[in-house]
Copies of this chain bind each other. A is one copy, B any other.
Amino acid sequence: MIVVMTAGATEEQVKKVEERLRGWGFDVHLSRGVARTILGAVGAQKDPSMAPMLEAMEGVEKVVHILTPYKLAGRQFKQEPTQLRIGEVVVGGPRVVVIAGPCAVESEEQILTTARAVKAAGADMLRGGAFKPRTSPYAFQGLEEEGLKLLAKARAETGLPIVTEVMNPRDVELVAAYADVIQIGARNMQNFTLLREVGRCKRPVLLKRGLAATIEEWLMAAEYILSEGNYEVILCERGIRTYETATRNTLDISAIPVIKHQSHLPIVVDPSHGTGKRQLILPMARAAVAAGADGIMVEVHPTPEKALSDGPQSLSLEEFAEMTAALRPVAVAVGRER
């Protein structure tokens, strides 16, 4: 931690900062420049509140952080990439995994038809929402437990592990009883109550990036889960909010190599939410794989024009089969399997 004093900071103000740093157990390196006095605090920073406290002191211009605020999620804590085994699937290994299914579970026929088709086309896991976060209170909110049961039925028939979202801390136990992977949606990325709750549960968690979350905040959200003892976290990039309106969100492909550099956690990419448009899914899925993603999560529906949500960004069953076929050569081109 480095404390930069203002140009007009007095000797006394510098001294007070120094004393405080020493009081917290830091070694202090004082450096008086032409224009600024700077204090370097050497030692482990135990409490994240220290920096804002220093910044609130008189004569302090800013505090510069040297270390990342996340520990367990970082590469320095764990050098080798984390591989998660979910049934027979390994996320974070050589194989680029594909997670597919409808935005929302709507009926037995819909989910079973989809499950069979995506299985046949090579999907590794089945996604589908039973609890749906919807911008409008008047929109379809999901089949709830009934939806979970239909997902379980689809798993029983196809063998595909299930990824499904939880929104309410009260439902974590229920969802965990059915799901193989619990999804935290983008809007709940900083729902810390929910993060702690899934951190205490024994299920892998797929953590979507918030609409306007920095990569650092995203890793801090993962840290909440890890710090509760659940080390099985998969990150999911799904597009960030920018000024551009040609796409629903701007899929941040560069987040993939940044995450690979900063963290040991696996990362998958959702080009459906990331673009909002069916015709962009294939090129963006290819881009994600080329950039090093560990997997793709994509919305698939037997009849997108009848989907109760996200139809415009859902692939039909045929389009999905074409997509998986088209991903394979790209995966191989970057040294992965598919």
Contacts and interface: CB of A to CB of B under 8 A. Distances in A.
Interface of A: 2, 4, 7, 29, 31-36, 38, 40, 42-44, 47-49, 52-58, 64, 66-67, 69, 76, 133-140, 167-170, 187-188, 190-193, 196, 211-212, 214-217, 220, 223-224, 227-228, 240-247, 250-258, 261-262, 274-275, 278-280, 283-284, 286-292, 304-312, 314, 329-330, 332-334
B227 A137 contact: yes
Contact of A4 (B34, B66, B224, B291): B66
Quickly give the copy total for this chain: 4
A215 B311 CA distance: 24
B52 A311 contact: yes
Nearest to A139: B48
Contacts of A40: 29, 31, 33, 38, 40
Contacts of A250: 240, 242, 250, 252, 254
B240 A247 contact: no
22 contacts: A35-B67, A49-B140, A64-B64, A69-B136, A133-B192, A137-B192, A167-B191, A169-B170, A187-B192, A212-B243, A215-B246, A242-B252, A246-B262, A247-B258, A254-B274, A254-B280, A257-B280, A258-B280, A283-B292, A287-B287, A329-B332, A329-B333
A145 B286 CA distance: 42
Contact of A136 (B32, B137, B223): B223
B244 A252 contact: yes
A137 B70 CA distance: 9
B55 A312 contact: yes
Contacts of A310: 52
A67 B37 CA distance: 11
Contact of A192 (B138, B167, B211, B290): B167
Contact of A330 (B193, B251, B290): B290
A309 B52 CA distance: 7
Contact of A56 (B187, B192, B244, B304): B304
Nearest to A75: B7
A306 to B, nearest CB: 6
B247 A254 contact: yes
A66 B32 CA distance: 12
A192 B280 CA distance: 29
Contacts of A187: 190-192
A232 to B, nearest CB: 17
Contacts of A333: 329-330, 332-333
